[in-house]
A and B are shown apart, each in its own frame.
Chain A
Amino acid sequence: MVFISTQEKSQLNNMIENADLIFTLSHIFQLLGWAFLPLLMLPIMYFLFSKNQFLKSLSFGIVSTIDTFNYYIGEIVKWLLPLMVLTISFSIFALSIFGKSWTKLFETSEYFHASVIMLGAASTLLAGKHVRVDIFYSKMNNISRSLVEIIGFYSLLLPVCIIILWNSQSFVRSSWMILEGSSEIDGIKGEFLLKTLIPIFSVLMIIQGLSISLRAVMYILRHEKPLLPLNFDDTFINENSFK
């Protein structure tokens, strides 16, 4: 016989109710993902039907929307970094001098750290600040660089992010079901939110990669490209140095 207290029983009931809701939600998200999947073929379609006006304006809109979106996400989450410096410093002095231990405060900095990485990565991709081995790359002309971007997106970035996205389903779902919290007693009860950052990261990276490969196709076809957001003038194509 297993003894279950009434409190645990109500928790268990809650969990089962939650489970239904979360399963439904995760199915909805999955369906949304399938629905948007064909959009990933857009760069290829654009290349094949380069005369099609609809594709042209659609791509133009998508690229500028994605770039603006990710740019502003980056501009917002970057402020978490100075906040992180302040919260950690504050919690050090509070703990070592006044003996006040605010686990919650220290853990907020963990949330800041994770959010900066997972949400800022796409903005970094947009800015072209992810490191490359540029022994040969620096000698390539802009057409080859554009091709590297397109091939890289379809054969490297996209599969990786889709695998991470697909495999994170059960990881995130099981965390949401118990609304997982910190392992510390007085910690923040939001670990499920932290874990959700992983699929969000994949989605942001996929759409940013899509936008960059669309830009690359536009470059190859010598079509007009949307302007880059402020402060971001050095993505993969260096307009000023034709070689």
Chain B
Amino acid sequence: MIYKHEFRAMGCQMLAALDNPSPRSQPRLAQVPEWFEAWEQCLSRFRSDSELSLLNQSAGIPVPVSQTLWDVLQVALEAEERSGGLVTPTVLHALVQAGYDRSFETLSQAQIGLADYEVAPLASMALIKLDPSSHSIRLPLDVGLDLGGVAKGWAAQRAMHRLRAYGPALVDAGGDIAISGLQADGHPWPVSIANPFDPDADLGLLMLGKCGVATSGRDYRRWRQNGAWQHHIIDPRSGKPAQTDVVSATVIAPTVMEAEVAAKVSLIIGSQAGLSWLSDDPSLAGMLLLENGEQLCTPGFERYLWSQA
């Protein structure tokens, strides 16, 4: 028996599912939105009183941070290392310059701003001073943090860890999905892949056990800035939204954080390099959807796809 609880948090649609026939599991599921609310209050750049916003406003001075913000920054640091600097939280100012200066739900489609603007390549997290003894962080003066995708992946993983004590669990944080293992009856969890070109026709159905799966795309969080389309995935090398032939990238990895990073990298560097980058890591399986509708898959991706046989 799978109980599900859907809610909105972090500007996204969330879902928590628990495979447990006991009605006692339902109150546990009902707690999940509270967890996300607490994490959002800590990690959101759109709340002026969040811990992250206070940190961004305190650039240049050491700021003691909570265990949650500390943990997420550690995950972001690992993501930057794993991606060779392509996935970094130091994208805040680039996103604001591109027009993403408020939550996407309130972002106007007629955003006023400069479509053709000059920005420098982004700073590395190596410039951020982290003091483990005091859990304090000092940002360089010209650096701001946006934890967006990393925070969602981390939250999905953390919520799944808390739920799995009560049975097989799945947590979906806006498309970034953490799965604790097979369902109670031994079957994998069916998870479909959204089709950006046709909401009514999914690209495929994944059958997943213990893993993480994430999709990065420039199909939804995009806006017009003086007639030019912008999106939220910043290429740190240019400081601007990534110019890429990939519309969306779906990756399966051991954890949802790894999947999120890999999906973003393969989208930023484009289809050819992205597919090669994914294929070099046997723990990853991915599918890239191109502008022309073509789908490119790594060799291991097919084994996750549902088939009649």
The yes or no verdict on A and B being binding partners is: no
Residues of A within 8 A of B (CB): none
